[in-house]
Amino acid sequence: MIRHHFQLRETIATILADDQGAVRAACAGMIRARNAVEHQIAIDPFFRSTLEPYTPDSDEETILRMTAAAKAAGVGPMAAVAGAIAWAGVESMKETGVPFGVIDNGGDIALFSDRTVTIGVHAGDAPVSNRCAFIIPPQQRILGCCTSSATVGPSISFGIADAVIVFSRDVACADAWATAICNEVRPDDVGILSRTDPDTICGGFIVIGTFNASFGKLPPLQPVRVDPGLITAGKAAL
């Protein structure tokens, strides 16, 4: 298996593939998506700065996905940017006909696979961090697994969670909802979970120190020693 490091300005991702053609397709897909986002920001800077749902004048698929996800989750469209870029890259991989492709865009993951994939939980100093992992069965359809944190990484968060992990077939929605839940959830208040759409969001996992909670339908979570060296870390997506 090929493990390829991809970086384009602030976007830092890890691509997993079986052949170089799929890697090239992944890179091309992410570059196209990022270019679309950069163009939108250039003509409409508010798109980047707003922390509330916003629908710009655009027919670019990545922009449409980000704005739809932001509207559903009640956050700004940039909350979905990393997931949307990873999604575009994995779609390009799938279009080549390969049976396996994974892109980890700084903790926002898009994948399809003909084999089991292990996704470790990284939650800063929380006790479960790097000690357990989701065991993802083979997926013919693209699946998103996106993470937001108030204590790990540079992304803006108004919450206290060490990690909120959300699974969805809509990778942009997984990213946006991870941000929204991370902004609001507390150990004594998980009311925001009642607003998630079970038809879009498969499920999620929340870590706040020693407090863990889950909702919806999740892949199996098993004790696993996660190698921190495999974590894709970097700056915010834009």
Percent of the chain past pLDDT 90, that is, above it, reads 85
pLDDT at 164 over 60: yes
pLDDT at 113 over 60: yes
pLDDT score of 101:
98
pLDDT score of 225:
84
Return the structure tokens found at 174: 């997984």
d(CA 98, CA 38): 29
Cβ neighbours of 76 (radius 10 Å): 23
Residue with tokens 């979970």, as numbered in its chain = 193
| Per-chain mean pLDDT for the chain | 93
pLDDT score of 124:
87
- ∠ CA 13-18-21, rounded to 5°: 80
pLDDT band at 237 (very low <50, low <70, confident <90, very high): very low
pLDDT score of 233:
63
Residue 156 backbone dihedrals phi, psi, to 5 degrees: -70, 130
At 122-163, the pLDDT tens digits run: 998 899 988 999 999 999 999 999 999 988 766 667 778 999
At 1-42, the pLDDT tens digits run: 999 999 998 899 999 999 999 999 999 999 999 999 999 999
Q: Which H helix or E strand runs over 76?
A: none
d(CA 75, CA 178): 10
Q: Which H helix or E strand runs over 149?
A: none
d(CA 173, CA 164): 13
Nearby residues of 109 by Cβ (< 8 Å), 6 or more positions away: 86, 102, 103, 119, 144, 145, 146
Q: Which H helix or E strand runs over 32?
A: helix 20-43
pLDDT band at 105 (very low <50, low <70, confident <90, very high): very high
Q: Which of these ranges, 116-120, 196-200, 234-238, has the smallest mean pLDDT?
A: 234-238
d(CA 56, CA 73): 17
pLDDT score of 226:
79
pLDDT score of 153:
67
pLDDT score of 238:
37
CATH code, 2-225: 3.10.520.10
At 50-78, the pLDDT tens digits run: 999 999 999 999 999 999 999 999 999 99
